[in-house]
Amino acid sequence: FVGKEGTVNYGGPVGTFIPATADVMSDGAVSSGVLYEFGTKTAAGDGTSRSIAALTSGKTRFLHLHVIAISGTSTPTITVIYETSAIGVYTDAVTRHTFIAVTAANIDTLGAQRAVLTATTSDTNGRFRWTISGTSPSFIVRMSEGIK
C-alpha cells in the first residue's frame, strides 16, 4: 500500500541499532503482496525466489525497500535490485528495478523507497538481490512486492 500519513518513532543509544515503530494509514486500496526479506543483512546476497503473478496489461507491480537501521564504518552502503525470471533459476534474470543506494548519510530520505512497474512480463518468479560495502556493515531491511 501507499502510506499517506503516519508517524515514525525511533531512538536509542549512539552506536547501536535504533528500535523503531511506525503507524501508517492509506487512503487507497491495499494490493496483494509478498514479504520477501526481513532481517539483518551483513554481506551481498540473493534473496529467496518467490512465485509471482505475470504482469499483464492494466496491472501494476509495487516494490518496497525499507532500510530500518545501519551500522558499521567506512560508509556502509546497501544497493538493492529486483529481478524476475521465467524459469526460476535466474540464468535468464532480468533486472526490473535498481533502488538508490542507502547509507547512514541518506537513510532519512532514502531509507524507504517504492518502485512502480507497469511493463508487461510473463515472468513468474521474482527476487531481490543486494550488494553491501563498508567495514563491518549491518543493515536491518524489509523488501516486499505487491501487485494490483
pTM over 0.85: no
Q: Read off the pLDDT band of 33 (50, 70, 90).
A: confident
Residue 93 burial (CB count, 10 A): 19
Q: Read off the pLDDT band of 6 (50, 70, 90).
A: low
Element (H, E) at 80: strand 61-85
Q: Which candidate, 64, 66, 127, 62, places its Cα nearest to that of 102?
A: 66
Q: Read off the pLDDT band of 88 (50, 70, 90).
A: confident
Q: Quickly tell me which residue has 539483518 as its cell.
A: 40
Mean pLDDT of the chain: 85
Contacts of 100 (CB under 8 A, 6+ apart): 106, 110, 113
Q: What is the pLDDT of residue 7?
A: 57
User: Which residues are paired to 7 by β-bridges?
Assistant: 23
pLDDT > 50? residue 111: yes
State phi, psi for 63 to the nearest 5 degrees. Answer: -115, 140
Share of the chain above pLDDT 70, in %: 78
